[in-house]
Amino acid sequence: MSTGNLYSRTINTFWILLKMTTLGCILMLCLISAVKGLLMRTVSIVHHDRDIIVADKPPNMLSVPGLSSDESLAGTVARMFGIERIDKSIVHRLDFATSGLMVFARNDQALKNLHGQFRKSQCLRKVYLARVWGRMENAVGDVSVPLGPDRERGGPYWKVDFINGKESRTLWKVIDYSSGISTVELVPITGRYGRSRFLLTQTFVSCHISR
């Protein structure tokens, strides 16, 4: 076989392998996208009407699009219901690890009304459930410390700050204990977003919070 023919066959073989590799990558990306889409479509919608949507947020999922990922409950709900402006639907947030119900607005009037209800404590009552490793020493308690943003670690982390922190108070009571885990009901009275988990970790070892 001449050197020219060998060179030509080598180039052809390399080109075929390159096309197969490219096709494989494209197929893999399509598969990953399809699987992600399927997973995102499994979000449970508890209620929806012409004004609001109530969705059940699973744990370990962003409430709204973030810097690290565009995948979020708000984005998923927007795709499911054809909402063009995600920011016009967001009423409140739950932190990444927390599960629970989230309400989304479908129009400006609903958004304004819901924001007003969240600002007025007499209109609604937030209740969280936390699973805490171990048995609590007391059946009820009141955790109150001044919290501020942890600038060294960045958002959404908090730290106890007795100088610049704002009051964060949460009432809690044990409602069940089984297999080494206490189920605790938490009612935030004052404070900052996402602080219920932080307040618990100031006293207890580990917790998973659902709402």
Question: Active-site positions?
Answer: 95
- Residue 82 falls in which region: left (phi positive, over 0), alpha (psi -120 to 50) or beta: left
Backbone angles phi, psi at 149, to 5 degrees: -65, 140
